[in-house]
Amino acid sequence: MSHLAHDPQSPAAKEITFDDFLKVDIRIGTIMRTEEFPEARKPAYKIWIDFGTGIGIRKSSVQIVEKYTVNNLVGKQVAAVVNFQSRQIGPFMSQVLTLGFADEAGAVTLFSPDKSVPNGARLF
């Protein structure tokens, strides 16, 4: 992620078409399992997210230790990009990009719906 992505004063990204937007598959899932990730270069957790029967459970590495503990993540619904290529993070294969927003200090707050929705629901 570029430095500008964390700057709330940065200008909007280059305009895209609706078809470009549809290429990014953003879904809701429920965190089912969490673990500490001591092997990560930056403090992180390993999470397993259930996206329902169409996608199943996918793993993600998340740098959210400033605002969350492994104990308060299970059961939380989160948004993630499910069609990025998997990425090896040390000994862990991260299969989705879990989405969040950085605060002024750079600490990430996860992107979640304010009401429960079905696992696998797609952002539109």
d(CA 56, CA 29): 9
What are the structure tokens assigned to 16, written together? 């895209």
d(CA 20, CA 93): 26
Q: Model confidence at 68, in pLDDT bands (50, 70, 90)?
A: very high
d(CA 3, CA 20): 23
What are the structure tokens assigned to 124, written together? 């539109």
For the chain, the residue count is: 124
- Determine contact, residues 3/54, Cβ cutoff 8 Å: no
Domain 3-110 has CATH 3.40.50.300: no
Query: What pLDDT sits at residue 7?
Result: 74
Give the model confidence (pLDDT) of 80-121 as tens digits: 999 999 999 999 999 999 999 999 999 999 999 999 999 999
d(CA 90, CA 79): 23
d(CA 77, CA 116): 7
pTM for this predicted structure:
0.91
